Amino acid sequence: MRDSRGAVALEFLLLFPMVVAMLYGAAAYGILFFGKYEMQSVVDQAASSALRVDRTRFSADDLSGQIVATANTTLEQSWASKSQRLRAGTDSIDCDVVETTGINFLSCVISRNNQEAPMVPQLTFGFLGKFPPMPDSMRAEATMAF
């Protein structure tokens, strides 16, 4: 019995850092996925706001411009209401008309640089590198035909 003395302390010493790393990684990815969900929600709101434009009030030439203006206004207002941590590192935020095979699409995009302004701090472990691994950039896009 005396030979096993300190075995529990040694096991704790070896396993505790791994358990903490797993918990930190789970929390970090949870925050990252929630941020991506928030980005997608904003571009979805912007694209759906274009559906509420009264098409009978505008000529065919003015309709595209009005749809883009409405979507961009909604996109900017929705994005401004999100947390500063999420908005930091924003590369682009834009809605624009894309024409493909004669069909007009409204495309709303938000992209952010995750290296410039990471949502979650990464820990550096020397030769092991950074933990948890994070994507260099994040992008959310919503497209709608009109």
Q: How confident is the model over 5-61, as pLDDT tens digits?
A: 788 888 899 999 889 989 999 999 999 999 999 999 999 999 999 889 988 898 888
For residue 41, the tally of other CB atoms under 10 A from its CB is 14
**Which pLDDT score is estimated for 1?**
56
Q: State the pLDDT at residue 2.
A: 63
CA distance 10 to 7: 5
pLDDT in tens, 61-83: 899 999 999 999 999 999 999 99
DSSP designation for 1: -
Cα 20 off chain centre by: 25
Would strands 123-124 and 103-113 be described as parallel, antiparallel, or unpaired?
unpaired
**95 in Cβ contact with 110 (< 8 Å):** no
The pair of structure tokens assigned to 64 is 């595209």
